[in-house]
Amino acid sequence: MDLFEYVAAASNEIVGGTNGGGSPPPRAAVRSGGPKGGTQMKVSLLDHTENALDLLLFTKQTRLTMTPDLLKQVRDWPMTRKLAELDYMLHTIQSSWEFVNYTFLIEGVSRAFTHQLVRHRHASYAQQAQRAVDMSSFDYVTGPSIDRDETLSLEYDAAMEMVGQAYSTLVEMGANRQDARGVLPTNICTNIVMQTNLRSLHDMALKRLCVKAQGEAQDVFRAMVDAVLGVHPYFEQFLRVWCATHGTCMFHTFPTEECPVKPIVYNPDTGEAYGGGRAGDRDDIQSRWKKNRAEAQPVVVASGRTSQG
């Protein structure tokens, strides 16, 4: 599917916060450690660049010409020409992508996730501060391997309750909240605001939409992409997972049987798909990725360090 076909079908294909079909996979659950009830992960697009397509094309054209009325000329182009230029930009220098910005509010996620998120340096963040907020009654995220096992869930929930009681006791005994927060869990729920540009979001999507990313991160980035495509559907091919962007796998040695998408991805060593036979094209890969959501397990290599963050 090219950009022309995608934009024509966008109103039928883009559904915020969904996988685009397929069976729902195990997800991280959010439970409450207090009376306010459980929260749910939610991604809201607070702000975005208006007339992003025209601005993107204009900044690209300035490399060749810079006339007073260039922006007006670009705005007057027919959509067919704009989409043709956009398709060209997908495969060339990305500096113009930085003129398109997005601001997201991400709610009900774990601090484990936000620790991963802020590793993406080319973005701005504002996060809820545990120093200034009373965390006596906190919500927390429960990973799927624990949530689906009753025995593990009971143990996990009991540990969270003990942590909450320890925090409250420390504060009641005179500890400063910024000191008492040291006992709080990594999976405590938090909210964060993130501002980034299209170029950086493209780079994040390549990696965080992959099954090698933790499931919570995949869910957040799927929701972020859906939010962007809700206002800028013509950027669909800019915001794909690595294999659906490049046609190859970023993790060449990752076992094929652990990824629902890799069997149809091109293997440069064999000239065929990793699963054998003809490899799918980028749209085939994207279609399979949308219908499947899996979560790889990191390989522990030594002393608590893992092979992925």
Q: Which residues are catalytic?
A: 208
Q: Are 306 and 300 in contact (CB under 8 A)?
A: yes
How is residue 256 written in tokens?
């094929």
- 48 sits in the region (left: phi over 0; alpha: psi -120 to 50; else beta) called beta
Kind plus residue range of the DSSP H or E element containing 42? strand 42-48
Instruction: Tell how far CA 59 is from the center of its chain.
Output: 27
Angle at 54 between CA 48 and CA 55, to 5 degrees: 60
- Side-chain-side CA neighbours of 308 within 13 Å: the count stands at 17
Instruction: Return the structure tokens found at 170.
Output: 């420390």
Q: Which of 211, 207, 187 is nearest to 259 (CA)?
A: 211
* Chain CA centroid to CA 174, Å: 40
Distance from the first to the final alpha carbon of the chain:
33
